[in-house]
Structure 1
Amino acid sequence: MLSTADQTDLWVRRYHPAPHARSRLLCLPHAGGSATYFFGVSRALSPRVEVLAVQYPGRQDRRSEPFVETIGELADRVVGAIGSQLDDRPLALFGHSMGAVLAFEVATRLERTGTVAAALFVSGRRAPCTHRAETVHLKDDNGILDEVRSLNGTDSRIMADDELIRMALPSIRADYKAIETYRYEPAPPLRSPIQAMVGDEDPKASIPEVRRWAEHTSAGFTLHVFPGGHFFLDQHVTAVLDKITGGLPG
């Protein structure tokens, strides 16, 4: 059985250690994404903020491990892996798309154990209390690839390399299954403030759906709308990071 330290090393990437940072930001990737998506975020925020990027099983250096196909199990395992990161500095969470829902479920579990996240930043995802019937994970490989291409969120060099994209398909399918089978279970609102961000042309999250994140907090809600689609944040990195740093303690 892995120790807590070993679990942390498996699940969490600390690209730019910042031992004197005033706060930590736990970043959770989108479906099919990996911790490396947040390398630039880590570099930009260090040393003021120490960024912890989550690496899901089944990809990159964890490709030999079985996938986790439910949001609930992913949240449980993330919480188990970050226990040693909760005691000395405030912890905030940031998630994009599937990662936003996972961040919410992690924050919910942390509150049950007495830890209130300093802030929850959610991007490109409708509120948990909304629902759309989606079945992308049941499509054939070409159907999933069409969906991924339509969102413009995968490195064009990977999309152009058939071998690479075929290698990534199993993790993409597993993540789509996790988020598409997720069902919100009503719970008390979080005591963490929530800042939600969305592109004004996002086909996966309308502005009214994103605004409903306000129902999931008792500590204040802010909505930021940016020009762009599902991966608007790739074109507005500086502005997104300004929103995040402005919402962190210290």
Structure 2
Amino acid sequence: MSSRNVTLAGADPERAVLRVLIVPHAGAGGASGQPFAAHAPDDWLVATARLPGRESRVRETGRDLDALTADVTATIRDLPGTAPLLVLGVCSGAVIALEALRRSGSAGVAGLVVVSQWAVNEKPDPGRRLLRDVDPGRDRAEVLDILRDFGGVPDALAANEEMLGLLLPAIVADIRAVEDYVCEPFDPGVPLLTVFGDEDELCSEERTDDWSLFGPHTRTVWLPGHHLLLVDEPEALATAVAENLDHWGLV
């Protein structure tokens, strides 16, 4: 597989006892999984998907949900190694990961981890503004307000005009791809673990309870923290996955 589509860290693919593919949150690239990898067990291979529109793929187009899903599906199929594979989707990345399993099946995947994403069987805020109705070039303030409703822009990034200018196009494209996503509950074919921050206002119990409808084997973990667990709490997130390997029969 092309190294442009994924970054690898941790154990050698052929010697790893577990493979984890991170599909990161809106606008994030392959580097976003490095802190998680640093806290994962040494015998895990941690791969982070690099989607179009960022890092070495910054000039690539094709950022709608169909294209992003196809991209992740290809990464799952081509990921090196033979150890059991967990797919870990974060916020918008969880929608892409879920859709990849819905469309292509769970062959080669042992489990799905959904991080910081409300249940997608219904829209939590049916009347909310959509990015597709806003021109990012003309009204950045409104764009940032909408993105905050998705937890898509850390305050430190919003305050850095130079970095924001570089990353905003990918963030906007990712959120546009999933902002009105809804699907009927279905069994993804693998046990589902959902992980949320206990101070995440976007993912309250009311918004997340319906993940239990997605298949007969679901489990939820609450961690101390806010919405961006992959960024702010990578050690706690890696530990949560390691402590729940029994959920997938991997211990």
TM-score normalized by the length of structure 1: 0.83
- Aligned-residue identity in percent: 25
Deviation at 1:84, TM superposition (A): 2.6
Name the residue aligned to 2:218. Answer: 221
Cα distance between partner residues in 2 of 1:115 and 1:236:
30
On the 8 A contact 1:199/1:226 being kept in 2, the answer is yes
Q: Unaligned regions of 5+ residues in structure 2, if any? A: none
Deviation at 1:28, TM superposition (A): 0.6
Give, as a single letter, the amino acid of the residue that structure 1 aligns with 2:204: S
Of residues 238-247 and 171-180 in structure 1, the stretch that sits farther from structure 2 once superposed is 238-247
Map 1:8-157 onto structure 2 (within 5 A).
9-19=3-13, 20-70=15-65, 72-85=66-79, 88-111=82-105, 115=107, 117-132=109-124, 133=126, 134-137=128-131, 138-139=133-134, 140-148=139-147, 151=151, 154=154, 156=156
Does residue 208 (structure 1) correspond to residue 206 (structure 2)? The answer is yes
TM-score normalized by the length of structure 2: 0.83
Q: Any idea what the Cα deviations from partners look like across 1:214-236, whole Å, max 9, x if unmatched?
A: 11122x21112234332245444
On the 8 A contact 1:29/1:99 being kept in 2, the answer is yes
The CA RMSD over aligned residues, in Å, is 2.5
* Secondary structure, counterpart of 1:15 in structure 2: strand
Change (3 A) 1:26 1:68: same
Deviation at 1:188, TM superposition (A): 3.9
On the 8 A contact 1:13/1:35 being kept in 2, the answer is yes
Give, as a single letter, the amino acid of the residue that structure 1 aligns with 2:40: L
On the 8 A contact 2:49/2:75 being kept in 1, the answer is no
Name the residue aligned to 2:163. Answer: 164
Deviation at 1:206, TM superposition (A): 2.1
Give, as a single letter, the amino acid of the residue that structure 2 aligns with 1:31: A
Change (3 A) 1:234 1:183: same
* Secondary structure, counterpart of 2:10 in structure 1: coil
